[in-house]
Structure 1
Amino acid sequence: MKRKILALLGSAALLTGALGSSVVAAQDLPPLATLPSPAIPADNPTTAEKVELGKKLFWDGRLSGNGAMGCVACHQPDLGWGTGGPISLGYPGTQHWRNSQTILNSAYYNKLFWEGSVTSLESQAPGAAGGAVAGNGDGSMMEMKLRFVPEYVAGFRQVFGTDWPHIAQAWQAIAAFQRTLVTDPAKVPFDRYLAGDETALTDAAKRGKELFEGKGGCLSCHNGALASDERYYNLGVPAAPEFGQDPLYQISLRWELYQKGVPEAVYRAGDDDLGLYHKTKRPDDKGKFRTPSLRELRWTDPYMHNGIFATLADVVDFYDGGGGEGNTVLKPLGLSQDEKADLAAFLEALSMDEPLLMDEPELPKTATWAEFLK
């Protein structure tokens, strides 16, 4: 009950512009903390063999429509486990319409995708692999592709005890792998500071921490170990210019509006991503997106649901200015240039000292029909 009351207080503070004031004090919100080990679902226990299988499947383009759009296509280790660009890659012949979120620390979210449309990694994977502007794969076809790979047949039998790979098991293995892609607190300046190392944060980052928890009001939405309350807000983020410059972007936008079942009047007038509204169909939810984690920001640019901001300085400027048109949350902060630099320094201190990189696994070969019959 206490947690619910605090959440309501935080929401009320936001609606009255607490991000520019001190209506709710930092001590009344869940403080930033070190991430614990991710929770493991009882119906998908983690094993080393399952993680290794999931890693291969994550890289394997056979889990897509054209054999080349595996998970890694949009979540590349050397690009912060995203694409490094504003809008994600589209399936060949299409164009995606949102920024490809990093999957770093996705193990901690209970709402995935920018509008929180799924609640587990196991259900996120098929949504991406089968999405018409993402992987465009058919589940039964992807499953048959796996069954013609002898190494996968053996691997699924070892991990799941089944005679043949089943597509739902592939998503479970990929989810198990993704739960290993998490922040290492020993490599994060802020977490070392929390553990008692006063030298872990620079003076600028320490000043930025005070701004984050005080004048900046950042803790109102970015709290707890994940630095996200996983709620939804309309900040008035500017529309992606791509939607007005490239017909494929406009086609994707119109298709998303149509296939998500918006009323005709909304479809006719739609010129931007409507966010949470696509899920709820409540007018007040237009333009709302889930609060992203602030962890690993140093390695996961650009920012926002459409990648509109290239740098952390751009993001800080946006918040300092009180958000954009249609914003229902933010108030101008009046930060000085030095204060904005300090705040950006603290945000960087929530990231590991080096990016989390990983070598590409060697993928097994598909058998010919003659080999398959042996």
Structure 2
Amino acid sequence: MSNPPLNLALAFILSICLSIGWSKTMATNNDLGVAPAYEWNLPDWTPKPIVPEDNPMTMEKVELGRHLFYEPRLSITGEYSCASCHQQSLAFTDGKPVAVGSTNQKHSRNSMSLANIAYNPVLTWANPLMTSLENQALIPIFGEHPIEMGMVGKEQEMMGWLEQDPKYQQMFQSVFKSEKKPVNVKNMTKALASFQRSLVSFNSPYDRYRYLGEENAISPAAKRGEKLFNSEEMECFHCHGGINFSDSIQHENLAFTEVAFHNTGLYNIDGKGGYPVPNTGIKEITQQAEDMGRFKVPTLRNIALTAPYMHDGSVATLRDAIAHYQAGGRTISQGELAGIGSQNPYKSGFIQGFEIKESEIDDLIAFLHSLTDEEFVSNADYSDPHN
């Protein structure tokens, strides 16, 4: 989910979409809802995510997507899959500061968690135009800047071996019944998107405490941490609120989609608000000075499993992340990234700094740990089917 420069990404997506004849009107009758209704693994208090009309959820499609998600033959080396950067045990992150592609090229951004990605109205760290999981799937597979799966120019070769594999031949045909040639890039990305939408996480100890009334589901320290988190002094809840602990959210109960990007004062390398290239936030796209350093707020669900933090993985621990916000922005005293982040002119008004005791930091961390959903990271339905 690291994203390349906009002009390259959109030009590439457009060329692929045109080459495969992508259109909502191409959806088949089977693909438009003839299959049995999909059963979401959601508690009663959780609204369903929004699903594109031309790619309805079905169990068979999700299962096909799961196989493809863990399929290393979709990479140029035959040893790298989507799951290489999105590991279930780490809430579908990889534990690295920045992602590393199939050719060992380091990317500029951290691999984002896929937990509850179906509720994300925008995808990746800093691309307000990337709103479709179906389109986004093209980038890691075929993108060149940076190389992830490295399959650009290998589209026909990839479809060829998928068609010749008896298992995939049967699975594609079962999902896209009315198509004469169901094995194609369009259907592959539909299946991948469907599997990703199925990755829902709403069974943390905090969920059981807050929504199911299990008083002892979290510790007294976590309860104190919740109060700190929701206090006006710390401001955490303003950006990390709602069911997904993020202020970019969409689901069936919302009248409108909420999208937000923020500069948290992580850098100020020139004293004028600068962030290091290529990680300049959505300014890369909008070309507006005030958008320098503005990135999407990730979910805090399973946050204890997804270190290191921030868009570039430059904050190692939860304690370090709290220290960053406590100071109202990060100060880097020397080197090429030196600067006083708290003085960044483009910094969000929510990042004002606060006073906090060591014991309160411990409480806040206890609360953040209570957002870990052990069922999510061990759910067999989300695991590698090839093992």
For Structure 1 versus Structure 2, the TM-score category normalised by the shorter chain is 0.7 to 0.9
Shift of 1:113: 0.4
2:97 paired with 1:68 = no
Give the equivalent residue in structure 1 for 2:373: 352
2:347 paired with 1:328 = yes
Give the equivalent residue in structure 1 for 2:216: 199
Q: 1:236 aligns with which of 239, 248, 265?
A: 265
Shift of 1:354: 5.4
Give the equivalent residue in structure 1 for 2:139: 127
Distance verdict in 2 for CA 1:144–1:275, change over 3 Å: farther
2:138 paired with 1:110 = no
Q: 2:386 aligns with which of 362, 365, 368?
A: 362
Give the equivalent residue in structure 1 for 2:150: 136
Give the equivalent residue in structure 1 for 2:15: none
Shift of 1:190: 3.6
Counterpart CA distance in 1 for 2:289 and 2:102 is 30
Q: Within 5 Å, which residues of 2 pair with 1:305-320?
A: 305-320=311-326
Counterpart CA distance in 2 for 1:307 and 1:76 is 16
Give the equivalent residue in structure 1 for 2:7: none
* Conserved 8 A contact 2:100-2:107: yes
Partner SS state of residue 110, structure 2? coil
2:158 paired with 1:150 = no
Give the equivalent residue in structure 2 for 1:297: 303
Q: CA RMSD in A?
A: 2.5
Deviations 1:35-85 (A, max 9, x none): 433333221112221111111100112323333332111111223311111
Deviations 1:5-62 (A, max 9, x none): xxxxxxxxxxxxxxxxxxxxxxxxxxxx964333332211122211111111001123
* Conserved 8 A contact 1:233-1:290: yes
Distance verdict in 2 for CA 1:68–1:114, change over 3 Å: same
* Conserved 8 A contact 2:80-2:149: yes
2:205 paired with 1:188 = yes
Deviations 1:131-168 (A, max 9, x none): 22212223444333322323212211110122330111
Which amino acid counterpart does residue 274 of structure 1 have in structure 2?
T
* Conserved 8 A contact 1:58-1:71: yes
Give the equivalent residue in structure 1 for 2:184: 166
Distance verdict in 2 for CA 1:345–1:93, change over 3 Å: closer
Counterpart CA distance in 1 for 2:298 and 2:158 is 31
Greater helix fraction, Structure 1 or Structure 2: 1
* Conserved 8 A contact 1:239-1:306: no
Partner SS state of residue 61, structure 2? helix
Which amino acid counterpart does residue 336 of structure 1 have in structure 2?
K
Give the equivalent residue in structure 1 for 2:16: none
Shift of 1:305: 0.6
Query: Matched residue pairs, number?
Result: 303
Shift of 1:353: 4.0
Deviations 1:328-351 (A, max 9, x none): 121120111112221121122222
Q: 1:227 aligns with which of 245, 252, 264?
A: 245
Shift of 1:183: 0.7
Structure 2 alignment gaps of length 5 or more: 1-43, 249-259, 270-274, 331-340
Shift of 1:201: 2.4
Deviations 1:299-328 (A, max 9, x none): 212111111122211111111111132261
Shift of 1:298: 1.9
* Conserved 8 A contact 2:99-2:111: yes
Matched-pair identity in %:
35
Deviations 1:65-120 (A, max 9, x none): 33333211111122331111111112315221110111111111010000134112
Which one scores higher on RCO, CA 8 angstroms, separation ≥ 6?
Answer: 1
* Conserved 8 A contact 2:327-2:353: yes
Q: 2:364 aligns with which of 327, 343, 346?
A: 343
Structure 1 alignment gaps of length 5 or more: 1-32, 241-268, 364-374
Counterpart CA distance in 2 for 1:333 and 1:99 is 27
* Conserved 8 A contact 1:88-1:99: yes
* Conserved 8 A contact 1:64-1:130: no
* Conserved 8 A contact 2:75-2:102: no
Partner SS state of residue 137, structure 2? helix
- With structure 2 as the length reference, what TM-score do the two structures score? 0.72
